[in-house]
Amino acid sequence: MDNVKFDQSVDEEKSSTFNIEAEQALLGLLLVNNEVLGEIETVIGEDHFYDGLNRKIFSHIASRTKKGLVVSPITLKPYLDSDEDFKNIDVPSLLTELSAMAISAYAAKDYANALFDLAVRRKLVDIGNEIIVDARKITEDNGPTQLIIKAEQSLYDVASTGTQSKTFEPLVKAATEAIELANRAFESDIQGVSGIPSGFIDIDKKLGGLQNSDLIILAGRPSMGKTALATNIAYNASIANYKKYGTASSVGFFSLEMSSAQLATRILSDVSKIPSEQIRRGELSENEFNQFVDAARSLDQSKFFIDDTPALLISSIASKARRLKRTHGLDFLIIDYLQLIRASSNKENRVNEIAEITQGLKAIAKELNIPVLALSQLSRQVENREDKRPQLADLRESGSIEQDADVVLFIFREEYYKEREKPGDQDLDALIKWQEQMEQIHGKAELIIGKQRHGPVGTVDLAFDGRFTRFGNLAKSHQVKA
């Protein structure tokens, strides 16, 4: 382009991360065929153009095309003539030469993808340079941990916004995926289960297993057994299912509250059938110790991964989950618990932070195509009711939890509350009645399905053994209350 002078300054570090000719060729095509914009606008925008003038031209073309106006060198010329950035540019020659460089419409998507990739590379170069500059500034509030968090956030932003957008797909393609889902359920060793088996017969009957891309919330008041149930499900998915059905899932467990050793103790208590308090106090016979060691050895081949880093950012969770999926595979992710996650950006209030966190968890589930189980606290208003069974309105701090979740489960143990209502020994009749009530509810728990986007709600009865912090199927587990 002899008559047109573009910005000739070149950043040496980015010299291989842009292609001016490709930008011009794509702009030329848009000038002679406006309909191509609809095919590439899901891939690139003006920010993906390296050259400032090319960026401006694309912006003008896109703006007018979206308004239903015809864009050509003739109709675009007045707008560029009135733009200060084009004051010293021969606009007619520029537009004519761009049109002459137009590529075939069939190549538009390939050129757009190439420009997209180059733009991401430039962003990565910028992040790398920023990391170097920040690392060389040694201040009190600029420690290595803060630098790593900032770098992870920057990379997360690129990963979440720097992916080529999905667009419409034919219904027949989605229908094919639905048929494959139904076929998995039909051919499954467990009747009616198309997702990852939870290990609990009645839960799987209601949910069809843990479904890919679902955000599942498991909520309850303290001491109800949220972590115990989540740990049981994780163990079943990664280990027990292999023994029963020959298929095992790779499980990632973010334990923001308990240490990995504490979590492992719970699992080993369950497997070895040794109460966890005995393990913590070291009150083990020689046989029990050998039993405990054998239980630990049985976990050798499991794909169960624990990260007990406290106060993680939602962006860090996403980054670590992607890394685990890439290196070891990831079929199922658990977070204990939601309120201990930190938002990636400062929000005006906690409600907005929780909204960002739940949206981030749902995004992880969809991006990695895995079920995500997040534990959640409930508000104290449950304690003020006579019937202390949780409801959706009890979800703490944000309605976004209910809104973003595909499934909301509540764990409830009436025995926990009834134990605290024990009458005095002097009231014999009341004590006898209390004992009868305790016998009826001892070792039982309810899993209340408060929301299920693609299925029924209801209640599932479970067994609970506090000695081993273990949930199980009741003897009459097929009798599920609707």
CATH number of the domain at 464, please. Answer: 3.40.50.300
Residue 143 shares a structural domain with residue 268: no
Nearest Cα to Cα of residue 332 among 205, 219, 233, 466: 233
Q: What domain range includes position 107?
A: 1-165
Residue with tokens 């199922």: 332
Is 350 domain-assigned? yes
Q: Residue 130 falls within a domain, yes or no?
A: yes
Residue 410 has a pLDDT of: 92
**Same domain flag for 196 and 158:** no
- Asked whether residue 29 is domain-assigned, the answer is yes
> Quick one: 198 and 153 in the same domain?
no
Taking only the tens of pLDDT, the chain with its 482 residues reads 554 545 545 556 666 888 999 999 999 999 888 888 888 887 888 889 998 899 889 988 888 888 888 888 898 888 888 888 888 888 889 889 888 988 888 888 899 889 999 998 988 998 999 999 989 888 877 788 778 877 877 877 777 665 555 555 677 766 776 677 666 655 555 656 778 888 888 898 888 889 999 999 999 888 888 998 999 999 888 876 665 556 678 899 999 988 888 888 888 888 888 887 777 777 788 888 888 888 888 777 778 899 988 888 888 888 888 888 888 889 999 998 888 998 876 667 778 888 889 999 998 999 889 999 999 988 888 877 888 888 888 886 667 888 889 999 999 888 888 777 777 777 787 788 878 777 888 888 889 999 998 888 999 999 888 777 788 887 654 444 44
Q: Which amino acid is at 396?
A: R
Same-domain check for residues 198 and 136 = no
- 62 and 207 inside one domain: no
- Same domain assignment for residues 338 and 394: yes
Is the domain of 140 the same as that of 204?
no
Residue 419 lies in a domain: no
Verify that 135 and 222 share a domain, yes or no.
Answer: no
Give CA–CA dist 315/308, Å, rounded.
Answer: 16
159 and 272 both lie in a single domain: no
Regarding whether 324 and 458 lie in a shared domain, the answer is yes
For the chain, what is the domain count? 2
**Cα distance between residue 148 and residue 14, in whole Å:** 24
Evaluate whether residue 423 is within a structural domain. no
Q: What's the whole-model pTM score?
A: 0.68
Same domain, residue pair 160 and 224: no
DSSP 196: B
For residue 480, tell me if it sits in a domain: no
Q: Are both 141 and 217 inside the same structural domain?
A: no
For residue 426, being part of any structural domain is answered with: no
Which CATH number does the domain housing residue 160 bear? 1.10.860.10
DSSP string, 295-349: HHHTTTT--EEEE--SS-BHHHHHHHHHHHHHHT--SEEEEE-GGGPBPSS--SS
Long-range contacts of 303-306 (CB under 8 A, 24+ apart): 303/238, 303/248, 303/249, 303/250, 303/251, 303/328, 303/329, 304/234, 304/235, 304/238, 304/239, 304/251, 304/253, 305/250, 305/251, 305/252, 305/253, 306/253, 306/255, 306/260, 306/263, 306/264
